[in-house]
Amino acid sequence: MRFADPWFLLLLLILPLLAWSYFRSGSRLSGRVRYSDISLLRGLEQSLRLRLRHLPYLLSLAVLTLLIIALARPRSSSREQKVDTEGIDIVLAMDVSSSMLAEDFKPKNRLEAAKKVAAEFIAGRTNDRIGLVVFAGESFTQCPLTLDYGVILTLLESQAVAEEDWDGTAIGMGLANAVNRLRESEAKSKVIILLTDGVNNRGQIDPVTAARIARSFDIKIYTIGAGTRGTAMYPVNDPMFGKRYVRMPVEIDEVTLSKIAEITGGRYFRATDTQSLAAIYQEIGEMEKTKIEVTEYTRYTELYVRFAGAALLLLLAGWILSQTWLRRLP
C-alpha cells in the first residue's frame, strides 16, 4: 500500500498529545461530590461501565486517525509490463565445400570451427528469426527463418561437407538463396552473414549481382573470409596410401567479398583462426542488436473510502455509546 499524499500522515503526531492532554485534565473536567468518609467505597470493584468510561474518547481518536489516513490517500498498486521487441531476421550462409576440411582452424578444421562459432552466435540471440543456407557447387536451404533455435542448432551440428558431385564454391548462388529467404521478411533489419574460404567458381549468379539484389531488398551482408594466410594443411584420401595431408594455398577473393559488403552497407572480415572467427561473430552480434522496449504500467486502486467509511462507523458508535450506556452526567 502506498500513499498519494503522505505529508498528511504528519498529523498523526498530534494524537499522542491529545491523549496526554485528555488524561491529564480528565479529573478537572469531571464533576465532584464531597463525602466525609469514602473508606467503605474503596473495597468496591469497578463496574464495566466505569472501566470503559474513556472508550468514547478513544473512539474519537481512532476516528481522527482514520480520517488522517484517508486524507493521505492510501492506494494499492499493481504493475504490468509490456515488452515490445523488434527482432532481426538473420540468414547464415555457410560454405560447405571440401576445402572447409583444411585444418588451419582448431581443434579440427574450418567447417567444425565455423559450426561451433555459429552455434554460439545463435544461442546468444533472442527474439531473432534465424535461417541457415549452405552452399558449395550449389546452394540449399537447410533451415528457413525460425525462432526454434533447437532445430537450427541440430541441423547445423549435423552439417557435413559437400559430396564430390556438387563440390565447388558458388558464392553468388549462396547469396541469392539467402536473399530469397529474406525478401518477404517484414523485419526492420535483415542480415546475411556469409562465410567462405574460397573464390566463386560455380553457379549461374555472380556474387556482385546477388549483392545488388540484396540491396534492393534492403538486406545487409556481412562477409567473412575463413582461412589462414599463405598455405594450410588439407587432408586427402589416397586410394593407395590412405589419408595423407598436402599443403594447399589459401585463396580467398577478398576483393569480391569486400565489394559485396560495401554494396549492402555491411562489412568484410578476415578470420585466420578459431579465436578471430569467434571475435568476428561477436562483433557482428554487437552491431546487430535486437531492439527491446519495456513499457511499465501501474494501476492504482484508491483505498481512502474504506478508511473514511470505518471512521464514520466508529464516530457513530462512539456517539451512540456516549448518549446511552456510557452517558456521563455533567
Q: In this predicted model, what pLDDT tens digit does every residue of 166-204 receive, in sequence order? A: 899 999 999 999 999 999 998 889 999 999 999 999 999
Residue 265 clears pLDDT 90, i.e. is over it: yes
pLDDT of residue 313: 86
For residue 33, is it within any domain?
A: no
3-state secondary structure of 112: helix
122 shares its domain with 269: yes
- 2-3 and 74-86 beta bridge pairing: antiparallel
For residue 37, is it within any domain?
A: no
Domain count, the chain: 2
Residue type, 20: W
CATH number at residue 235: 3.40.50.410
Contact 143, 132 (CB under 8 A): yes
Report in angstroms the alpha-carbon separations of 286 from 53, 124, 260, 290.
76, 11, 21, 9
For 267-300, the pLDDT digits (tens) are 999 999 999 999 999 999 988 876 655 556 667 7
219 shares its domain with 170: yes
141 shares its domain with 181: yes
pTM: 0.65
Contact 221, 199 (CB under 8 A): no
C-alpha dihedral over 122, 113, 106, 165, to 10 degrees? 170
For residue 273, is it within any domain?
A: yes
93 shares its domain with 134: yes
Contact 134, 114 (CB under 8 A): no
For 155-171, the pLDDT digits (tens) are 999 999 998 888 999 99
Distance of CA 80 to the CA centre of its chain: 15
For residue 242, is it within any domain?
A: yes
Determine the structural domain holding residue 109 and report its residue range: 88-289
94 shares its domain with 205: yes
Top-confidence residue, 46 or 140:
140
For the chain, helix (H) and strand (E) counts, in that order, are 10, 11
For the residues 88-113, what does the mean pLDDT come to?
94
For residue 29, is it within any domain?
A: no
246 shares its domain with 323: no
Residue 191 buriedness (CB in 10 A; 0-12 / 13-18 / 19+): buried
For residue 253, is it within any domain?
A: yes
For the residues 134-158, what does the mean pLDDT come to?
95
3-state secondary structure of 198: coil
250 shares its domain with 320: no
